[in-house]
Amino acid sequence: MTMIIGWMLWPKLLILMAKNVAIIGGGIAGLTAAYYLKKSGITPTVFEASSQLGGVIQSDTIDGFTIENGPNTLLLSDQRTVEMFDDLGLQFEDASPNSKNRYVVKDKQLVAVPMSIKSFITTSLFSWTSKFKIITEAFRQNKPLGDEESVSQFIIRRFGKEVLVYAVNPFIAGTYAGDPDSLSIEHSFPLLENTERVYGSVIGGFFKNRKKQNPHKIKRRTISFPKGVAELTHALSNYLSDSTHLNTTISDISKTDNSFTLTNTQNGKMESSSFDEIICTVPTYSLKNITINGEDYPDFDELGEINYPPVISISLGYKKEHIPHSLEGFGALVPKCENMNILGVLFSSSLFNNRAPKDHSLLTVFIGGSRQPELTVLSEIERVQLAKEDLETLLGISTEPAFMHQTLWKKAIPQYHVGYGHYKSIMNMIEAKLRGFHFAGNYVNGISIQDTILSSMNLVNELNRHSSTCSE
């Protein structure tokens, strides 16, 4: 009997004690997974289809302006992320104290988001009726509407419609480039959903949760790096320089009992390599290009249905003397009801040092998203014109910019729509069918940079735990 059990466990043992791991995709998820694998003594091999690593994290310095083509900041709240930065020799910088000033557009004017009890009482952003609903949320005993609520349904039920319109709607546009009517509260903001479910209240639950100890939690801070967010991916790339393959596409994954064979093409040359496990971090819409055992894989096609709306990032540099507004703040977000062209604007040169020449300021404007995807197909000139019109309305800027740069992301951020659990189930099913195949990326456990870093870290830790358990 012992021998029979041993033979039954042998394939599992071989899979879990992985020593050679392929990582498909060289964005922050793939690079982080490779970093932690290498730290634990496991050999990673990263395959990246494009000519550079880092995915959507891209920073450039042009004519003295340091611009972000992708994420502009990183929200830091976990000590393990800091430890990775330290190990890589990175020196991050905190956003300016003025970044605490955040604005929402109301009636075409910038209104400061209340950050204290006093400012909450005096703010014109919400009516007294809405303020009362916010204050009394902890005593509201209403139940979820059906099995799964949208973000809009949840917020209206707990706080009222005005909070949705002037707080949550612009916030969703600025983070997800999404629509709160479509996003799932359970999958997009699981902390909110879980807090209400456990404590019966969002605000009350947060106060109770503050007493719980999280050994990794640190004070939340908005950060970047002196040369931009891409310093992070550059540092990871340097650490993994002997483990990465650029301009390399994966066309097929063949599965045997104990290993995988990856067929890849680099610069027109096709070859195959064997691996113990695979971590797949490419966007779900790219999975359709990969076959399994030489055949199309319907489950990959279904994951390709996850929505990624288009977004355009427009960097505009102006002489300081041409900007009437002080720009003392993080930026401004635009609610849908304001019927403007832009989703929001960041005061980039006010956030961090050396983002613009001494006598200039840098603004970053976002257009498109789920709200107005049709604007992304306009010409570059037309898109800049739309941005300039709104900046004149909001900031009083009437002159031409001294600097312009734009980046189009045709598929930007995965949307955790209502029903997203179906896609999570498909991922779990694929991982069960293809034992040793794992998903990681911003479509798994959150869209932020830190969410993605921690998700990859946790995956590698889980692989190491399995390996340790099976080797005992």
- Local confidence pLDDT in tens for the 472 residues of the chain: 444 334 444 344 444 454 899 999 999 999 999 999 999 999 899 999 999 999 999 999 999 999 999 999 999 999 999 999 999 999 999 999 999 999 999 999 999 999 999 999 999 999 999 999 999 999 988 778 778 999 999 999 999 999 999 999 999 999 999 999 999 999 999 999 999 999 999 999 988 877 676 889 999 999 999 999 999 999 999 999 999 999 999 999 999 988 999 999 998 899 999 999 999 999 999 999 999 999 999 999 999 999 999 999 999 999 999 999 999 999 999 999 999 999 999 999 999 999 999 999 999 999 999 999 999 999 999 999 999 999 999 999 999 999 999 999 999 999 999 999 999 999 999 999 999 999 999 999 999 999 999 999 999 999 888 665 555 5
Q: Which residues sit opposite 325 in a β-bridge?
A: none
* CA nearest neighbour of 402 among 346, 320, 318, 324: 318
- Which pLDDT value is given to residue 207? 85
- Which pLDDT value is given to residue 211? 64
Structure tokens at 140: 């509201």
- Which pLDDT value is given to residue 9? 41
Collect all residues with Cβ–Cβ distance below 8 Å to 251 and sequence separation of at least 6: 263, 264, 265, 270, 289, 290, 291
- Which pLDDT value is given to residue 238? 98
* Strand ranges of the sheet holding 403-409, from the earlier edge strand across to the other edge: 109-112, 102-106, 331-333, 342-346, 360-368, 311-319, 403-409
Question: Pairing relation of β-strands 20-24 and 43-47?
Answer: parallel
Rounded distance between C-alpha atoms, residue 276 and residue 37, angstroms: 13
* CA nearest neighbour of 236 among 92, 36, 82, 457: 36
Give the phi and the psi of residue 284 in degrees, each rounded to 5: -65, -25
Whether 2-52+232-306+419-471 shares its CATH topology with 126-214 is answered no
Q: Which residues sit opposite 279 in a β-bridge?
A: 23, 438
Please state the domain extents for the chain.
2-52+232-306+419-471, 59-98+308-409, 126-214
Tell me which H or E stretch contains 403.
strand 403-409
Residue 45 DSSP SS3: strand
* CA nearest neighbour of 176 among 458, 339, 374, 366: 366
Collect all residues with Cβ–Cβ distance below 8 Å to 66 and sequence separation of at least 6: 59, 60, 227, 228, 354, 355, 356, 362
Q: How many residues does the chain have?
A: 472
- Which pLDDT value is given to residue 209? 78
- Which pLDDT value is given to residue 210? 74
Q: Are 60 and 265 in contact (CB under 8 A)?
A: no
Dihedral, CA of residue 428, residue 434, residue 437 and residue 438, to nearest 10: 0
Q: pTM value?
A: 0.92
- Rounded to 5°, angle at Cα 105 from 104 and 110: 85
User: 59-98+308-409 falls under which CATH superfamily?
Assistant: Protoporphyrinogen oxidase, mitochondrial; domain 2 (3.90.660.20)
- Which pLDDT value is given to residue 2? 41
Residue range 126-214, CATH number: 1.10.3110.10
User: 2-52+232-306+419-471 falls under which CATH superfamily?
Assistant: FAD/NAD(P)-binding domain (3.50.50.60)
